[in-house]
Structure 1
């Protein structure tokens, strides 16, 4: 069967689909939960509301790291209850440029310099996917839907994306203090590959 990006996958009562601009409010709330402390430090300088305002803005721009076009949602009916994204060498050529544009358009040139500096400091600790790897990120599940298979279904979607793009492994970074997430990924077949504070690097062969 040929995988179509708009095809719906069901698990229990949950549907996995690509995100859209219309999902903005529920999706960016989940996106914020995927890395509250880091996102708030980078984009809000400690201000949650400013961080959420930026995520809403970037989501509606659609392209780039925080745009809706490269995110998938787990939905219960019309309600998004989980989120995930991925990075690889098949992304649009302007992906990084669109990410930068969202930042500069929202914050302005002067403040953007500080945002980019804070972001770069964190990025230096993250894994960069190789040609044969698909990087997974922005993983979050609504508290009411945890331990129900939602996160597993989201990871299964990333496996499909990896196969589609001829990748041999998934990689991801988890904050070292997030013991629950680390244990979950271990049960999903990931292995610890190293530590670069504040992250634990993990990978899964396909």
Structure 2
């Protein structure tokens, strides 16, 4: 059965945030979790409701089946890197306050593994499908939805990053025409390396 895609709304928070988190739990935990104080999803919920930046609801799409949100993700290009960095900084300062410097440093460390995308590239991120629906082709539908957005915008290339610890996701992306361009190893505790993948649109 086909998914119906629409722009996310603030009231999608309970369904969308776990899907966003599932796209890179080790990286999100490294950057945003403070044991005994807050989980990474606590911060993602805060940022989602703020609306702006790469974690905000305004940048996300959701896929519905029978009225239930079962997939989520976002797309953007290098043209928004500066704006997204400023929005993330504001959200981190607003949420973590005195703990913000540590979070910002960890975010910069992660950017050596998952680099900001280049200009004129459709970058797919935060791709998530609810665990009960995996293996039903929903991830392919989500990606194809985003690829069509890129084609409509006249962009030449699509790209994404996949964790080296997620071979199933990499196999899906390869079936959809993506190929690994760069592999970046990780020295961060609990964080896997990343493979940057591209395909022409």
Q: TM-score, normalised by structure 2?
A: 0.89
What secondary structure does 1:202 align onto?
strand
Matched, 1:123 2:111: yes
CA RMSD of aligned residues (A): 1.9
CA separation in 2, counterparts of 1:77 and 1:104? 38
Alignment gaps of 5+ in structure 1: 1-11
> 144, 147, 156: which one pairs with 1:168?
156
Residues 48-88 of structure 1: per-residue CA shift (max 9 Å, x gap): 95211111110000110110111111112332111111121
Equivalent residues, number: 194
In structure 1, the partner of 2:100 is: 112
CA separation in 1, counterparts of 2:119 and 2:36? 36
Matched, 1:81 2:38: no
Matched, 1:150 2:138: yes
Comparing 12-21 with 193-202, greater Cα deviation is found at 12-21
Residues 32-63 of structure 1: per-residue CA shift (max 9 Å, x gap): 11111111111004569521111111000011
Alignment gaps of 5+ in structure 2: 186-192
In structure 1, the partner of 2:198 is: 203
Q: TM-score, normalised by structure 1?
A: 0.87
Residues 74-110 of structure 1: per-residue CA shift (max 9 Å, x gap): 11233211111112145497433222111110111x2
